[in-house]
Chains A and B, each alone.
Chain A
């Protein structure tokens, strides 16, 4: 075990994967000698050479197109998109190509080795274009996996799982926690399961569900609620697609209440999908409407970022409203 922040854990995961398999490649804008604008790929070029860790020209559609080809060839590409806000030029390559490669070829070809890393989320005064949470766009695309870690231990284990998984995987990293989240991380290669949510805390009155940086917000909100005697069950969804319906539904059968929170805007956000599925599964067990605590339906603001974001106070209020309904 070593004390690491999330960036160090991600760097450690990449190092672990590259050491174990020479077909693992890391590339993207500024990923080479500089080690990425956040330093997630620090020292990888120095260690594994320019052929395996390198800068690409500034062209996201090219990065992912290139990565798709590499994965089809049998390499294991880990492509970095510098900010999730800049993933959209590659939307076609991800949605029409990565996601459909296996299906459309009848499994003659696949890009299962592909992992796309991208820092996402607000809270760093990044404004419109360094703050977005685009997971719902990709969650609407069968064939992709979408994974979001909440802390360094999770980041390493889930990233290694994503790299080894036989399906194209988007790995959204909560950049607000890159240096803020610190914890013990095993030094060895370990993989956490994809497609499985994790119950972080058991409770009886209300289920509070989130992922990534929002788990820290939930933790604060739940502390406030528990001081008032509300027993909260806390779940980290971890994989947005395909998501773990069973774990969430089983929790709601028990608590009868669900609060879902994410940074992305409300309308069309992934909380809507969760709410729809859970009301189908748990209709007769629900004691109150499923609550969604999310970013507002606006572009991501700058100065009024705090007002926009679903912070612990908003989550706390939603927990109370749910219980008092």
Chain B
């Protein structure tokens, strides 16, 4: 109804919401110690090390694959660098059967769930083992067995889909939720508003995790919205919201764990705004020197989330110099070896051009395919990737 329980006033009273200042939740200092008064979260050793390994894996994968892109071995790449804690810490707070609907910079969540380096590489090189059959640009990963929805380039489309997916989970009553990731830039899309409003109205078990990393390609957050970040929007939807230091693995994990309880046990959707920084370029096609200073980057490099977690692990005696050296060496070697393997694998078969458009290939498309194969047979040298596959059929 159009009535409100708020009090009545008798002269025009505007408000801009400035009285609402959403605090930032932090636990871990950069030196690996806890803030005074911060309660150490319940994070056991095995899980902490699983998180840390996923973060380091992501960092090394990103470094090597950007280098591979620069060498011309890969067409395109996107790094998660600087945002590993926001991504891995949140994914680790979920049940592995919860659905993840990411934007494109969340390879850390996949690494945490157990996506192998081979699986990453097969997608990056679009070879015959790529689950996506070589159809999408690099970093558009997906895994049904790991409950990680295949990435789609259009921004924010995954957000209302997450609301719908989670509504289905709620009806199924299996106690699972969905988390969806997006940047502060994508939060300007209409799909963001649609998703949060529908989730609040229908009480859907979904977690909206905004990676406020400061930039949408070159556009700084200050030119993206006038408000104090993305978090205050939750008030407009009557949604629970929390702002977290996105470089603080313990705070991200703890906030997401609590959010999951709200979502799954109370059907309360939650917005989490992680305050972080995209240390890398937007993508391999971007050059940040055109829009931000080295000094600014240096400030954030000092806040490296991986180093912060490592120092905490070392303070707990769960990790040491040797462990670190071994992990780094093993990961670098595995990345290089799997890259060589993946690069040598053949491309997807020619018929993947027309399969999966529909559940079955419609007659008109089958005709187009036959005519393409006949064309390739006439010009096999022009189509080295598929000449062999074109031999069969009409």
Interface residues of A (CB under 8 A from B): 23, 25, 51-52, 54, 56-57, 59, 61-62, 64-75, 77, 89, 92-93, 96-97, 100, 102-110, 112, 142-143, 145, 166-167, 195, 242-243, 245-246
Contacts and interface: CB of A to CB of B under 8 A. Distances in A.
10 contacts: A59-B190, A62-B163, A66-B195, A69-B160, A97-B157, A102-B356, A104-B140, A105-B132, A108-B131, A242-B363
Interface residues of B, number: 50
A269 to B, nearest CB: 18
A73 B194 contact: no
Nearest to B196: A62
Given A70-B164, A72-B165, A106 B194 contact: no
B359 to A, nearest CB: 4
**Residue among B101, B193, B359 having the largest count of chain A Cβ atoms under 10 Å:** B359
B157 A93 contact: yes
Contact of B135 (A92, A106, A246): A106
Interface in B329-371: 352, 355-359, 362-365
A104 B357 contact: no
Top 4 A-B pairs, shortest CB-CB distance: A65-B160, A69-B164, A62-B194, A69-B161
B164 A67 contact: yes
Given A72-B149, A75-B171, A106 B130 contact: yes
B96 to A, nearest CB: 17
B201 interface: yes
A143 B152 contact: no
Interface of B: 99, 101, 130-133, 135-136, 140, 142-144, 149-150, 152, 154, 157, 159-169, 171-172, 178, 190-191, 193-195, 197-198, 201-202, 352, 355-359, 362-365
A68 B364 contact: no
A142 B358 CA distance: 8
A96 B152 contact: yes
B168 A73 contact: yes
Nearest to B143: A108
B149 A245 contact: no
B144 A108 contact: yes
Contacts of A52: 171
Contacts of A70: 164-165, 167-168
A72 B161 contact: yes
Contacts of B364: 242-243, 245
Contact of B359 (A23, A89, A105, A112): A112
Nearest to B176: A73
Nearest to B178: A69
A57 B132 CA distance: 34
A153 B168 CA distance: 31
A97 B154 contact: yes
Given A70-B168, A75-B168, A167-B359, A103 B160 contact: no
Contacts of A110: 359
A127 B149 CA distance: 41
Contacts of A74: 168
Contacts of B171: 23, 25, 51-52, 75
Contacts of A54: 202
A96 B157 contact: yes
A184 to B, nearest CB: 31
Nearest to A76: B168
B271 to A, nearest CB: 16
Contact of A106 (B157, B161, B162, B356): B356
A30 to B, nearest CB: 14
A97 B198 CA distance: 19
A106 B136 CA distance: 10
B162 A104 contact: no
Contact of A97 (B130, B161, B169): B161
B142 A109 contact: yes
A104 B165 contact: no
A92 B168 contact: no
A109 B101 CA distance: 12
B175 to A, nearest CB: 14
A67 B195 CA distance: 11
Given A62-B191, A106-B150, A106-B352, 8 more contacts: A57-B201, A59-B194, A65-B159, A73-B168, A97-B157, A106-B130, A109-B144, A242-B365
A106 to B, nearest CB: 4
